[in-house]
Structure 1
Amino acid sequence: MKKGESYVGAAASVYLNYAVVGAATIFISQYREVLAQSWHATATAISLVMAMVGLGRIITILFAGAISDKIGRKKTLLIALGCDAIFLIGASFANNVWVAGIAAMFFGATNSFGDTAGYPALADAFPDKTATMNSFVKASMQIMQMIFPFCVKLIHDPRITACILVLLLFIDAVITMKAAFAPQLEEAKVDEQEKNTEDKVEGVSQPKLAVDGLMLITLGFTMCFTFYIFSLYAPYYGQYVLNESAANANQLVSWYSIASLISVFVTSVLVTKIKRLTLIIVYSLISALGLLFMVLSPSLIAGEVGSLLIGFFAAGGIWQVGLSVLTSYFPQGHGKITSYYSFAPAVVYFVAPLVAAFVLKANSISTLAVFWITAIITIISVALTLILIIRSRKFKVEN
């Protein structure tokens, strides 16, 4: 489309940001041994540092959407890029867990401002292709996460890697400043009286934020929990459960990322042909089966198959499909609605590593316990989506 073509620069800036975010998300887990020595930290302390990402996101996410709607997507994206640079430099050069923890909080802010700028920017520029464009966000992240473990094998010093990533952020900042962003969509004016009349006709003719919105936000939490925990702790599964070397264990993330990258393109096609909630429940069910295979029958085959299944069905853009359902249910104020949905991952980023910190030890039993927790959370995703599908039959909104 001609309209879409004029915003290619804006889309490029968003996707480059998420590419670096993809690397930054697994930066600590990939360099866990080197950073543990630099920070004088145990495995538990490293998980606590990871939890600080979530705390930083929780602190910023609820007002990041309002800021994005107020000052615009471009300026908000620049804030995200700056916060990411602070995280990478701070974490890689830190000499104790306190400095590392503070740096990690800035990465939480990166996620908050990046999500509330990036997704709405794509929605504003490509209103007819929002689900597809959102899926490509995952493509940019997964391409980087697929490559990153190999980069870690080649570059043993996290400081060098951090400086390279910061250079990419600087390039992205230049692209962002020069790119044309689409005008923000005006907040829809809803006539409350007309809405109440509709509700009386069919009982529930439109989705309700307090019910359907809350369930979708909770679904955002459970889906994010699945792929985030897996991306962080798959190397632990390889190292402690399968007794692989740290370098080989890291490769499970590459299998996960390859499958996720393939899924992005498959999902972007399927989302135009299959109802979105149907797609979510199928993907969540297969993800749960993959995790159960890993914990019930631990082996290298189970690790690789599980990595492929979680990568394809949990991390291949299905979270973004959930966001597109939410924004279609409640089209007013994309920035604010996105911040609500992104609050769920904010909690994940804090709670998941925190839970793992108290469960995870350098042995197979505790590592499997983390994956059992993840499997249970994924099953909850299936149950939530089933309820949403049943309720969606009453709505006039496409799901």
Structure 2
Amino acid sequence: MKKQNYASAAASVYLNYAVVGAATIFISQYREVLAKAWNANSTSISLVMAMVGLGRIFTILFAGAISDKIGRRKTLLIALICDIIFLLGAAYANNVWIAGIASLFFGATNSFGDTAGYPALADAFPDKTATMNSFVKAAMQIMQMLFPFWVKLIKSPQITALVLSVILIVDIIITLKAAYAPQSEGSNKKNSNIETKVTDTQEEKPKLAIDGAMIITLGFTLCFTFYIFSLYAPYYGQYVLNQSAENGNQLVSWYSIASLISVFITSILVTKIRRLTLIVTYETISAIGLLLMILAPSQTTAAIGALLVGFFAAGGIWQVGLSVLTSYFPQSHGKITSYYSFAPAVVYFVAPLVAAFVLKANSTSTLMVFWITAIITIISVVIALILIKRGRKFNIEG
């Protein structure tokens, strides 16, 4: 039999995530123009961005079940349509209420996209899942690296939304025509049975209420660092460094370049260094980068901080945390993964909400947002260190 080629299915997933990469920072990159169109201030802009998290919270708990029920293709189509609604809704809104409703749809895009995209790649490339998943992060980071340059050239969010929507329509066509792999559960059950037998021989096992809860919390703190940075680095450039809005956006490009490089380097290091040790190292350096930006603000320290946070916080370390969780609880991959994926949903809502109460159009409040981010990053280090200490009781490669 001729082996089925699933390259087109992979292309549909990666194209979706590329647009998601741009859509994630769409509001923050066009904040000045959109604020005028919505008659909004910095606080209102943050509240609109918080609606993304609320939309994800509303949908993440049942998006996976829908993906299993109706298939990866149809679920991805839902994500693509929701993304179009978000982009056009945000770009053409004339008040924060319409913009906030549009942002709810982007939360749905994240939920349905994740529960369709990752499983679709796992179904199609069971022996290369980790590698194929790393390309998801790469697709997002490439777009986030390029997007600030696009914004500097194209100052109209309406034009940008239309261009991105056209790309999404092209992706809808690709998705409809692509060959998707059958949804397979057999191999997962087989692997689960093997891993369960191994863990059954252990005298002491990780506890979901303690170790699982800490790793899920770690997923929250890891995500908080890179998500807040990607949204509010432009504010740092504008209000702390007194740059123009367009030049302030360029910090996201430095961050994205470093993150893209890190995706590939981290995928190698994770096979050579204990995962929790890698998390401690990465988050410690991320905290140093943030503290450097806070304590000694300058264009040089901002660039260094953006590179450090991009490489060590946004280059796939969140996925490393997920792999720790699934190795601790191999018999419940689906349920455990949904718990861990719920953490970013909460971050997408809570992080901008926190910033909304702190952020004003000045240097002091912007630095306060970065202080909060640095503290959360340090908490990541503390949690990982506790997990390392507890992990010595388990015969698991953490």
C-alpha deviation, 1:152, in angstroms: 0.6
User: What pairs up with 1:249-288 in 2 under 5 angstroms?
Assistant: 249-288=248-287
User: What pairs up with 1:365-384 in 2 under 5 angstroms?
Assistant: 365-384=364-383
| Match in the other structure for 1:188 | 189
C-alpha deviation, 1:319, in angstroms: 1.3
| TM-score where L is the length of structure 2 | 0.92
Q: Which amino acid aligns with 1:140?
A: A
Rounded to whole Å, the distance in 2 between the matches of 1:80 and 1:330 is 29
Q: Which amino acid aligns with 2:203?
A: E
Distance change >3 Å, CA 361–CA 398, structure 1 → 2: same
C-alpha deviation, 1:121, in angstroms: 2.2
C-alpha deviation, 1:302, in angstroms: 1.2
Q: Which amino acid aligns with 1:62?
A: L
What is the aligned-residue RMSD (CA, Å)?
A: 2.3
User: What pairs up with 1:292-331 in 2 under 5 angstroms?
Assistant: 292-331=291-330
C-alpha deviation, 1:396, in angstroms: 4.5
| Match in the other structure for 1:291 | 290
Distance change >3 Å, CA 30–CA 197, structure 1 → 2: closer
Rounded to whole Å, the distance in 1 between the matches of 2:246 and 2:20 is 22
C-alpha deviation, 1:297, in angstroms: 1.2
Structure 2 SS opposite 1:323: helix
Rounded to whole Å, the distance in 1 between the matches of 2:107 and 2:305 is 28
The gaps in structure 1 that reach 5 residues or longer are none
The gaps in structure 2 that reach 5 residues or longer are none
Are the aligned partners of 2:204 and 2:394 in contact in 1 as well (CA < 8 Å)? no
Are the aligned partners of 1:119 and 1:338 in contact in 2 as well (CA < 8 Å)? no
| Match in the other structure for 2:213 | 214
User: What pairs up with 1:325-344 in 2 under 5 angstroms?
Assistant: 325-331=324-330, 336-344=335-343
Distance change >3 Å, CA 392–CA 70, structure 1 → 2: farther
C-alpha deviation, 1:380, in angstroms: 1.0
| Match in the other structure for 1:356 | 355
Rounded to whole Å, the distance in 2 between the matches of 1:247 and 1:79 is 33
Q: Which amino acid aligns with 1:70?
A: K
User: What pairs up with 1:1-399 in 2 under 5 angstroms?
Assistant: 6-182=5-181, 183-186=183-186, 188=189, 198=200, 202-204=203-205, 207-331=206-330, 336-399=335-398
Of the structure 1 ranges 282-291 and 63-72, higher mean CA displacement relative to structure 2 is found in 63-72
Q: Which amino acid aligns with 1:198?
A: D
- 1:33-53 CA-to-partner distances (Å, cap 9, x unmatched) read 110111111111111000101
Of the structure 1 ranges 59-68 and 270-279, higher mean CA displacement relative to structure 2 is found in 270-279
Rounded to whole Å, the distance in 1 between the matches of 2:301 and 2:239 is 14
C-alpha deviation, 1:288, in angstroms: 0.9
Are the aligned partners of 1:87 and 1:107 in contact in 2 as well (CA < 8 Å)? yes
Rounded to whole Å, the distance in 1 between the matches of 2:184 and 2:326 is 14
Q: Which amino acid aligns with 2:174?
A: I
Rounded to whole Å, the distance in 1 between the matches of 2:51 and 2:110 is 12
Distance change >3 Å, CA 335–CA 173, structure 1 → 2: farther
C-alpha deviation, 1:146, in angstroms: 0.6
Rounded to whole Å, the distance in 2 between the matches of 1:68 and 1:397 is 31
Rounded to whole Å, the distance in 1 between the matches of 2:47 and 2:261 is 32
C-alpha deviation, 1:120, in angstroms: 2.2
Are the aligned partners of 1:219 and 1:385 in contact in 2 as well (CA < 8 Å)? yes
| TM-score where L is the length of structure 1 | 0.92
- 1:320-352 CA-to-partner distances (Å, cap 9, x unmatched) read 222233334444565544332221111111111
C-alpha deviation, 1:71, in angstroms: 2.1
C-alpha deviation, 1:195, in angstroms: 7.7
Of the structure 1 ranges 357-366 and 264-273, higher mean CA displacement relative to structure 2 is found in 264-273
- 1:67-86 CA-to-partner distances (Å, cap 9, x unmatched) read 22222222211111111111
Distance change >3 Å, CA 148–CA 325, structure 1 → 2: same
Q: Which amino acid aligns with 2:256?
A: S
Distance change >3 Å, CA 7–CA 277, structure 1 → 2: farther
- The sequence identity of aligned pairs, in percent, is 77
Rounded to whole Å, the distance in 2 between the matches of 1:12 and 1:124 is 14
Are the aligned partners of 1:262 and 1:316 in contact in 2 as well (CA < 8 Å)? yes
- 1:154-211 CA-to-partner distances (Å, cap 9, x unmatched) read 11111110011111111212222222333232463978xx889937x5122xx44333
Are the aligned partners of 1:132 and 1:271 in contact in 2 as well (CA < 8 Å)? no
